[in-house]
């Protein structure tokens, strides 16, 4: 179970170019690590585009934005290109990182139960510790909520 104040679980996943990215690459910077279900779906596209629009604000706050889903690196590349996303997307195809972060959960839609990624955002501080967790994220207003948390408001 991930807890605020504890070290964030290590990750090493491929980005949209196939380069391995590790959380420790960002020590010294804040990281917004957001998990989302699937590229090219309405809610996930809205969330990614809102993070993209707010990217200059995150940059001013010396904060890196990273999205993670189970989509392949190739699908991430298409998603980034289609919506001109200025941040990194990582591919967790086998779901190990989703499991480590506790976002792989049973969901239900129209009475049907299935396993999937529960939309969740983590703010990780400059020392690699979890600063804040946003579980069961609702897309509308979420990016502003994250920015406010980073600014300490």
Give the side-chain half-sphere CA count within 13 A for 146.
31
Residues marked as catalytic? 44
- Tell me the C-alpha distance between 49 and 46, whole Å: 5
Closest by Cα among 111, 143, 145 to 43: 143
- Sequence-distant (≥ 6) Cβ neighbours of residue 94 within 8 angstroms: none
The strand pair at 20-22 and 12-14 is best described as antiparallel
Q: Looking at the DSSP assignment, which residues form a beta bridge with residue 34?
A: 67, 121
């Amino acid at each position: 179970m991930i807890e605020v104040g504890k070290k964030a679980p290590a990750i090493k996943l491929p980005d949209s170019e196939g380069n391995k990215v590790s959380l420790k690459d960002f020590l010294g910077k804040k990281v917004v690590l957001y998990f989302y279900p699937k590229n090219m779906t309405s809610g996930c596209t809205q969330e990614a585009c809102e993070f993209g629009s707010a990217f200059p604000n995150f940059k001013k706050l010396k904060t890196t934005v990273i999205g993670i889903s189970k989509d392949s690196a190739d699908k991430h590349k298409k998603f980034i290109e289609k919506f001109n996303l200025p941040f990194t997307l990582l591919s967790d195809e086998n779901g190990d990182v989703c499991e480590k972060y506790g976002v792989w959960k049973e969901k239900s839609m129209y009475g049907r139960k299935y396993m999937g990624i529960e939309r969740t955002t983590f703010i990780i501080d400059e020392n690699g510790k979890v600063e804040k967790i946003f579980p069961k994220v609702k897309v509308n207003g979420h990016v502003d909520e994250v920015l406010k948390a980073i600014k300490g408001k």
